[in-house]
């Protein structure tokens, strides 16, 4: 099949990355169709639907490069499969990763299906990751831009999903993408990168969350001394290892969040960097996804959160949908976040962190 006969549906967000993605595929001769996803309904303070401007940018770029463009609404799917999970995880005192879920359930499921129904051979997005299709099947590699690599968020994609995916930006560094946008003079060439979780945008996270979950203030307790350090605004607002926004200190070194007790509604804090309470040596994780078949026990490297340096680990498959990951030492490994496994640049797979241990003893992250 030549590129000309290959239809690629590009998920266009109105940002610079997906704009360049569409243009690059077009340059390679593919039959390119752009589709904008509307996953969240929101209006700004002037009553304008926030998706309007992004869609307008999709239109501009699509007209500029000469591809058909459409829009699809996944508000219901997003609400049911991503937002509900997001709230449920916070209710459990965990720190969810809606981007991982959005990729798994929306971008590479609902959207992928929609594109396939429209006759697409592949779906492409502007993610910084590489995917290789060859006789051995599918391999996902980190994006060459170490700083932008997004494989952490793509860890739940199955072989089947990846077999229909192209990531044309994976071999580029972000500045090169900007340069290409300028070279092709795309309407989005100077558009600011979006930050934060898509449905929260620039808004205050605490305020946003309080619209959906009742805040339940409680006491902050120094884990070492048992001293009451004042009031916390609600356990859901804090994540393990968090330093900012506690409103305490001044008595020798900063404080860090080290645990939550959902029963007593207490937030445990500790003083000082690298406090023992934050250090773990192993974890248990579920929602296990191996992109390529893996042995029962193997050594590799892992990330416990986005943009963290890789840590050497040993992985043991301990159940139907459970792995144990052990390592020398890591700080603030947080339940609800993903653990993503790498073999060099290759992504082995990933899972969701459930429990964290220090030398076999469960940490009091969640009591």
Any idea which residues carry the catalytic annotation? Answer: 102, 198
Q: Which two tokens stand for residue 248?
A: 């305490």
Strand partners of residue 314: 299, 326
Q: Using CB under 8 A, which of 29, 80, 119, 212 touches other proteins?
A: 119
Exactly one of 10, 33, 172, 258 binds other proteins (CB under 8 A); which one? Answer: 33
Least Å distance between CB 120 and other proteins? Answer: 10
Tell whether 15 is in a known binding site: yes
- Count CB-CB contacts under 10 A for residue 305: 19
Q: Count the residues in the chain.
A: 367
- Binds other proteins (CB under 8 A): choice among 1, 47, 117, 360: 117
User: Judged by CB under 8 A, does residue 80 bind other proteins?
Assistant: no
303 beta partners: 340
223 labeled binding residue: no
Classify burial at 79, counting beta carbons within 10 Å of its beta carbon; exposed 0-12, middle 13-18, buried 19 or more.
Answer: middle
List helix spans (H) across the chain.
16-27, 50-65, 75-78, 84-91, 98-102, 111-117, 159-162, 174-183, 205-210
What's phi and psi for 183, nearest 5 deg? -60, -45
Nearer to other proteins, 57 or 89 (CB): 57
Cβ closest to other proteins, residue 57 vs residue 324:
57
Integer CA distances (angstroms), 209 to 78, 162, 235, 290, 366, in order: 17, 33, 12, 33, 20
Candidates 50-58, 293-301, 330-338, 356-364; binding stretch for other proteins (CB under 8 A): 50-58
Residue 34 token pair: 């752009």
114 binds other proteins (CB under 8 A): yes
Question: In the block, which residue shows the tokens 């072989």?
Answer: 159
Residue 58 or 141 with smaller CB distance to other proteins: 58
Q: Are strands 122-124 and 7-11 parallel, antiparallel or unpaired?
A: parallel
Question: CB of 5: closest distance to other proteins in angstroms?
Answer: 15
Given the rule CB under 8 A, which of 95-103, 114-122, 212-220, 332-340 is the region that contacts other proteins?
114-122
Strand 218-222 versus strand 266-271 pairing type: parallel
Please, where are the H alpha helices in 120-200? Answer: 159-162, 174-183
Choice between 50 and 301, CB closer to other proteins? 50
Q: Report d(CA 315, CA 5) in Å as an integer.
A: 43
Q: Residue 74: name the closest of 38, 23, 22, 33 by CA.
A: 38
Is residue 121 close enough to count as binding other proteins by CB under 8 A?
A: no
Q: Which residue of 118, 132, 295, 362 would you call a contact of other proteins, by CB under 8 A?
A: 118
Asked if residue 38 binds other proteins (CB under 8 A), the reply is yes
Q: Kindly state the smallest distance separating residue 57's Cβ from other proteins, in Å.
A: 11
- The span from the CA of 248 to the CA of 220, in Å, is 10
- Which CB atom, from 53 or from 146, has the smaller least distance to other proteins? 53
Find out whether 17 is annotated in a ligand binding site.
Answer: yes
Name the one range near other proteins by CB under 8 A: 28-36, 308-316, 329-337, 348-356. 28-36
Our finding on whether 215 is near other proteins (CB under 8 A) is: no
Q: Does 60 bind other proteins (CB under 8 A)?
A: no
Give yes or no for residue 68 binding other proteins (CB under 8 A).
yes
Question: By CB neighbour count within 10 A (0-12 exposed, 13-18 middle, 19+ buried), where does 207 fall?
Answer: exposed
Which residue of 19, 32, 54, 151 would you call a contact of other proteins, by CB under 8 A? 54
Residue closer to other proteins, measured from CB, 31 or 352: 31
Task: Please indicate if the annotation marks 252 as binding a ligand.
Answer: no
For residue 136, what is the DSSP state? T
Q: Exactly one of 70, 184, 298, 306 binds other proteins (CB under 8 A); which one?
A: 70
Cβ density class 226-241: b for 16+ within 10 Å, e for less = eeebeebbbbbbbbbb
Interacting residue with other proteins among 27, 63, 73, 249 (CB under 8 A): 73
Could you list the residues that contact other proteins (CB under 8 A)? 33, 35-36, 38, 48-49, 51-52, 54-55, 59, 68-73, 113-114, 116-119
- Residue numbers in the known binding site for ATP are 11-18, 37, 126
């Amino acid at each position: 099949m030549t590129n000309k006969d290959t239809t690629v549906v590009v998920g266009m967000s109105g940002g610079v990355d997906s704009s360049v993605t569409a243009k690059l595929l077009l340059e390679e001769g593919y039959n390119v169709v752009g589709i904008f996803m509307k996953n969240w309904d929101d209006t700004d303070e002037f009553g304008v639907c926030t998706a309007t401007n992004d869609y307008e940018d999709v239109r501009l770029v699509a007209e500029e490069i000469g591809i058909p463009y459409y829009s699809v609404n996944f508000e219901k799917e997003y609400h049911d499969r991503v937002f509900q999970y997001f709230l449920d995880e916070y209710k459990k005192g965990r720190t969810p990763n809606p981007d991982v879920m959005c990729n798994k359930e929306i971008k590479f499921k609902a959207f992928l299906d929609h594109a396939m129904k429209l006759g697409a051979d592949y779906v492409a997005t502007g993610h910084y990751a590489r995917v290789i299709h060859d006789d051995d099947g599918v391999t996902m590699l980190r994006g060459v831009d170490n700083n932008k690599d997004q494989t952490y968020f793509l860890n739940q994609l199955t072989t089947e999903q990846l077999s229909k995916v192209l990531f044309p930006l994976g071999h580029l560094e972000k500045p090169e993408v900007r340069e290409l946008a300028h070279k092709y003079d795309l309407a989005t060439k100077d558009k600011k990168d979006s930050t934060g979780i898509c449905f929260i945008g620039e808004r205050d996270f605490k305020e946003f969350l309080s619209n959906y979950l009742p805040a339940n203030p409680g006491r902050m307790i120094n884990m070492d001394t048992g001293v009451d350090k004042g009031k916390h605004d609600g356990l859901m607002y804090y994540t393990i290892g968090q330093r900012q926004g506690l409103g305490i200190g001044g008595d020798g070194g900063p404080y860090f969040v080290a645990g939550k007790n959902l029963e007593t509604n207490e937030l445990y804090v500790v003083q000082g960097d690298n406090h023992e309470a934050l250090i773990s040596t192993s974890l248990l994780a579920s929602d296990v996804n191996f992109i390529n078949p893996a042995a029962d026990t193997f050594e590799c490297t892992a990330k416990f959160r986005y943009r963290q340096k890789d840590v050497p680990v040993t992985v043991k498959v301990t159940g139907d949908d459970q792995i144990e990951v052990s390592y020398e030492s890591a700080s603030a490994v947080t339940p609800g976040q993903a653990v993503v496994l790498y073999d060099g640049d290759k992504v082995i797979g990933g899972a969701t962190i459930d429990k964290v241990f220090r030398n076999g003893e469960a940490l009091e992250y969640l009591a």
